[in-house]
Amino acid sequence: MNRVRRRAVGGRLPVVLVLPALVGLAFLLVPLAGLLVRTPWGAVPGQLVRAEVGQALRLSLVCASLATVICLLLGVPLAWLLARSDLPGRGVLRALVTVPLVLPPVVGGVALLFVLGRRGLVGQYLDAWFGISLPFTTAGVVLAEAFVAMPFLVVSVEGALRAADPRYEEAAATLGASRWLIFRRVTLPTIAPGVVAGTVLCWARALGEFGATITFAGNFPGRTTTMPLAVYLALETDPDAAVVLSVVLLLVSVAVLVGLRDRWIGGAP
């Protein structure tokens, strides 16, 4: 009944909304279509077998996946803290957590450099005590991607936690379940669609990260040159290669989003 009602309402959309919607759709899709039209499809196989392309793609996939794991381990508890705790100043904390969403990625890379660099606030001790230097390493790529991508996960999971019905958790508590058991067996399954959505968006954002990566991790082939950096370099010397690399990134991102569509948007038609 609700679906029929939504369809009926949707069929009466005013023109004043339809036209801007179509323009917005074209604004988003036409550049992608232009990229596909411009792609030298005959050169795609040759470009894909190049060693530097394989290295960049492999590095991008590995670093984006590791960054997503970090975001899950830290972001889900952080989202729970913002949504369910009585911690004072949660509004301020929420605003600070979402700053990387609007912060220029290059600024994020500079901030990481001044904190985790060899002379940074924390990095100087990592270097002196443990001999660990994070800038301009593969680990630096992972940290830069996690920094810019984590807010996507936190916002998604926090929204799912706020929308979840707390009565199930209260019922489990009355039956004697511990807080940790309730979180694992009740809360997490309830917010699973939100976690999946945040994970997908987080991974896609990490995969496409450029500014923070090149600022904090540099551009060293085989070590820190991810696909976005390879596209930037190729654009200066070989535009056709840049187009091919861009299409590869586009197809990987679209494949992931389409493959998980029914989960990260809750199975909506």
What would the pLDDT profile of 26-58 be if each residue is shown by its tens digit? 998 898 888 888 888 777 777 777 777 788 888
User: Quick one: pLDDT at residue 40?
Assistant: 81
User: Which CB contacts under 8 angstroms, 24+ apart, belong to 36-42?
Assistant: 36/247, 38/243, 39/243, 39/244, 39/247, 40/240, 40/243, 40/244
Kindly state the average pLDDT of the residues 218-246: 85
Of 68-82, 121-135, 228-242, give the lowest mean pLDDT range. 228-242
Read off the pLDDT of each residue in 82-105 and give the average, rounded to a whole number.
Answer: 85
What are 178's two structure tokens? 């511990």
How far apart CA 84 and CA 159 sit, in angstroms, is 11
Summarised one tens digit per residue, pLDDT across range 194-207 is 898 889 889 989 99
Residue 93 scores a pLDDT above 70: yes
Length of the chain as a residue count: 269
46-264 has which fold? Answer: MetI-like fold (1.10.3720)
| Among 28-42, 129-143, 150-164, 209-223, the least confident range | 28-42
Top pLDDT among 114 and 253 is at 114
Burial 81-99 (b: 16+ CB within 10 A, else e): bbbbeeeeeeeeebeebee
pTM score of the predicted model: 0.83
pLDDT band at 269 (very low <50, low <70, confident <90, very high): very low
